[in-house]
Amino acid sequence: MTSPHSDDLFQVTLASIGDAVIATDAMGRITFLNAVAETLTGWRNEDAKGRSLTEVFRIINEHTRAPVENPADKVLRHGRTVGLANHTILIAKDGREIPIDDSAAPIRGANGNLRGVVLVFRDIRERKEAEERLQESELRYRLIGQVANDAIWDWDLITNVVVWNEGVQASFGYRPDQIGATASWWLDNIHNDDRERISKSIHAVIDAGEFWNEEYRFRRADGDYATVFDRGRVVRDSGGAPVRMVGAMLDLSERLRTQRQLAEREERLRMAVESAAIGVWDFDPQSGSLEWSDRCKAMFGLPPDAHINYDVFLERLHPDDREQTHRVVMDALSPDGDGSYEIDYRTLWPDGTVRWLVARGQGYFEEEVGVRNAVRFAGTVLDVTARKRSEEAAVKRSAQLRRLADVASRIGVAHDVTSVLNIVTEEVRHVIEAHQSIASMTVDQEWAQAITSVSMSEKYAQWRNYDKPPDGSSIYTIVCKTNKPMRLTQAELEAHPAWREFSGDTMHPPMRGWLAAPMVGRDGRNLGLLQLSGKLEGEFTEDDEAVLVQLAQMAAVAVENARLLESLQQADRRKDEFLATLAHELRNPLAPIRMGLEVMKMGGLQASEIEDIREMMERQTKQLIALVDDLLDVSRITSGKFELRKCRVALADIVQSALEASTPFIDEAGHNLAVAVPDMPILLEADPHRLAQVISNLLNNAVNYTPEGGEIRLSASHQTDTVAIVVADNGIGIPLEMQQHVFEIFAQLDRPLEKGYVGLGIGLTLVKRLVEMHDGTVEVHSDGAGKGSTFTVRLPIVNADELQRRPIEFSSDQASTKKRRVLIVDDNKAAADMLGLVVKMLGCDIRTAYDGQEAVEVAAEYLPEVIVMDIGMPKMNGYEAASHIRRTPWGKDILLVALTGWGQEEDRLRTREAGFDHHLVKPADPDALQQVLFESRD
């Protein structure tokens, strides 16, 4: 801040200046006028204070009378000194017009802020008069001195006759007979664009002036135009009336052309010298004196008045270049050499600035008494800093590109995400030259499960053990959310709100500037980011950012490829595990079935023993069917060909069906099952069979992963517009890292081998898909290994008072008492005969055929009411046989039932198109078969 004393001193100084002085504040309001300014403007200092400068200091153009922009406004706008344009007139308060020239400069405070403007101007009337007298004198002198070359004219203003000397012929090529006698000829030959201006100008002087001069274009005799300088003087009579005007016209064409050529050469020379930045030096080896040009001194960071000697020269060299440069100088001055000198070296300024110079010179020698001595050593220095830096940048860029190619190659063959991140983290620190680098990869920005890799230089070695995991709360999350890079200087980083909140961690490695780029997946989702801090030299640059963005893109591709590879490897492992498990699970029920058959073959069994074996074989057969059905269900759901058969159903009925299916397995494993279902009816709009399958699969899962004698709980609770179905156990539990994968197909937990049945790893996949098809959700929770598991299914409920569903049941006592004629067709003779035995036991009359062609022949003779036929058969398949039967008169009303191992929706559609009425999947459920056999076709 400026003190009051300094302000007084400032005003005293302004008052003592001999020119007129006006001072304003930063708003352009007057704060002071000195005495000279009061005289010229007609305003007193007291009256002018606080007024706008444009009110007191009114200025116009001398010729156009148009207002001239106030110089103070320019100073306030641009903050630099300005001067008035030429031909400026000051209009005083009393109307006086005073020609002036001036300048205006900014007034700045101690802190550099603009405080106002000081305007200095002066009365130049005497100077203008002197200039006009001088111009007249010069005109006379030029007229005399150039009379031989100028076209001199004498114009009688009374008669309008103009007399020309021979100069108009010599300069412009006119013959005497081509020169007009009046001023009209002269005016007609002036260029159209100049004519009006010249006419007005010369007549203005004739009317109220004395001297006239103008530049314009005048037509030569050949039609081309010459640029001329024309000047004249009006002669008046004793009454002041103009009577005559005498002048001379000078052809400027050659002069202008020469001036342009000279200006162009001077400009080229100036540009060459300035762009070359050449300094000159001259060394006297005999006396040791050294002379440098000012430019040479500037290259060494020295002022123009600096004293120079050889020691100063060596002192200003970079320490690493000093010895070599001295050796090259000595070689150039050696009498045994040719005196040539050329070397590149660095200068080191006191402020640390380093400049690259290339020095060239020549040593001059004299020989005296047979001895050759150096007598002069002179040359130049050229600043090549920009070139050197460009070369260094090119070398650095080339090294970066080679390293980037190496990084791309290395991460391209990395087989896992961690390896990719470790390679990128280490390499990016070296490529961009930073003290620390961090790579973080998340899953949908879940920082709790982030994979982080860190690389630090030796300078940061003490922080290498810092292992606080990222929590998604710091500045780096901005990059992940926006998917845009960020580059901050140290000051910008410290000022950033997101960093200020994080910087309280005193154990965190120091951050010296920051550069980050996101890793973005092919689908546009963020995968994580790369971060750098602590640039080895200076701040991170735009080029550094471009390199980091490129590396982040490479890393993102490599990460996704590694994830894909890991996923494929995991899927391949699961496939192998699934196939092995499938073989095991198929053998499990087949083994007791085969053993039962062997026992029955031996004979001698009691009826009760045979019944026990039959029940065992039935259970094992149902288990086989369940395995195959689960596989088919998963396939249909995955391919989008699965349809639910929804109806309004009570939750209690669904739970009961699930319990009927799972209780035998629960009892066999010796578990305790607790069931808690609300007494109030809870209605669902659902496929009852599939929801029962969901609950049964969850119960079976609990059986498989709970040690013998464990506790299993099945409960349901009403929650506003949903019902929560919970299956919990105290089994082996689920590790945290596995919980997000348990619903994936073929996913299984490791479990003791002695547990026996482990399933195919598709039960929970079916649960999730079926629940989602019912607009519900399923989730799993476990506190970890040995802590049990809880599965919760949430489904929307229907608000209704009663259940609107009546299941249809069929049993053997519902069979018609009338025997039906049934033809059994299957190329598997054992299967056909066994099915025939079952159908016969249901009270039907049967015939059998073992291929499609035989089926057509037997049907034509037997005329069955029902044909149960396989599809895949030799000679004629089931589709062809059915189509053939439907085309016969006797086959139109036969009930055709397809019994096949193919159960996909397209298989059912194809059997319908072939003419079948029903489609049953092997092995057929006896109740379903019974229902179909006694159904009327219409």
Task: Provide the pLDDT confidence category of residue 403 given band limits of 50, 70 and 90.
Answer: confident
Cβ–Cβ under 8 Å, residues 253 and 227? yes
Q: Is the domain 413-570 a CATH 3.30.450.40 member?
A: yes
User: Residue 595: pLDDT above 60?
Assistant: yes
One-letter amino acid identity for 558?
A
For 343-389, how does the pLDDT look when each residue is reduced to its tens digit (9 = 90+)? Answer: 999 999 988 889 999 999 999 999 887 889 999 999 989 888 888 88
Q: Among candidates 533, 527, 563, 536, which has minimal Cα distance to 548?
A: 533
- 149-256 and 277-390 have identical folds: yes
- Classify residue 420 by burial, with Cβ atoms within 10 Å: 0-12, 13-18, 19+: buried
Q: Is the domain 277-390 a CATH 3.50.50.60 member?
A: no
* Proportion of the chain above pLDDT 90, given as a percent: 35
User: Residue 444: pLDDT above 90?
Assistant: no
Q: Is the domain 821-934 a CATH 3.30.930.10 member?
A: no
Q: Is the domain 13-130 a CATH 3.60.21.10 member?
A: no
Q: Is the domain 643-796 a CATH 3.40.50.720 member?
A: no
Rounded-to-integer distance, Cα 614 and Cα 130, Å: 140
Please give the biggest Cα pair distance in the chain.
170
Pairing of strands 821-825, 845-849: parallel
pLDDT at residue 816, as a whole number: 43
Which residue is it, tokens 């001195």?
A: 145
User: Residue 255: pLDDT above 70?
Assistant: yes
Helix (H/G/I), strand (E/B), else coil: 485: coil
Least confident of 498-512, 558-572, 699-713: 498-512
Q: Which CATH number fits domain 149-256: 3.30.310.220, 1.20.120.420, 3.10.290.10, 3.30.450.20?
A: 3.30.450.20
Domain coordinates in residue numbering, the chain: 13-130, 149-256, 277-390, 413-570, 643-796, 821-934
pLDDT at residue 370, as a whole number: 80
Cβ–Cβ under 8 Å, residues 423 and 410? yes
For 824-866, how does the pLDDT look when each residue is reduced to its tens digit (9 = 90+)? Answer: 999 888 778 878 888 887 788 999 999 999 999 999 999 999 9
Which residue is it, tokens 């005559």?
A: 244
User: Residue 623: pLDDT above 80?
Assistant: no
Phi, psi dihedrals of residue 566, rounded to the nearest 5°? -60, -40
Kindly state the average pLDDT of the residues 572-587: 61
Higher-scoring residue by pLDDT: 207, 664: 207
Per-residue DSSP letter, 472: S
Cβ–Cβ under 8 Å, residues 575 and 746? yes
Count CB atoms within 10 A of the CB of residue 593: 18
Rounded-to-integer distance, Cα 729 and Cα 875, Å: 55
Rounded to a whole number of angstroms, the CA Rg of the chain reads 54
Rounded-to-integer distance, Cα 460 and Cα 663, Å: 64
pLDDT at residue 148, as a whole number: 47
Per-residue DSSP letter, 808: -
User: Cα(first)–Cα(last) distance of the chain, in Å?
Assistant: 109
Rounded-to-integer distance, Cα 762 and Cα 582, Å: 11
User: Residue 515: pLDDT above 70?
Assistant: yes
For 183-205, how does the pLDDT look when each residue is reduced to its tens digit (9 = 90+)? Answer: 999 999 999 999 999 999 999 99
User: Could you tell me the CA-to-CA distances from 648 to 468, 686, 805 in Å, in that order?
Assistant: 54, 6, 6
Q: Among candidates 372, 292, 290, 281, which has minimal Cα distance to 333?
A: 372
Secondary structure E strands in 384-445: 434-443
pLDDT at residue 496, as a whole number: 81
Does this model's pTM top 0.85? My answer is: no
Rounded-to-integer distance, Cα 609 and Cα 618, Å: 14
Rounded-to-integer distance, Cα 181 and Cα 188, Å: 12
Which residue is it, tokens 């735009």?
A: 542
Q: Which helix (H) or strand (E) holds 712?
A: strand 711-719
Per-residue DSSP letter, 469: P
Kindly state the average pLDDT of the residues 173-187: 93
Rounded-to-integer distance, Cα 867 and Cα 824, Å: 6
Rounded-to-integer distance, Cα 89 and Cα 104, Å: 16
What does the mean pLDDT of the chain come to?
Answer: 82
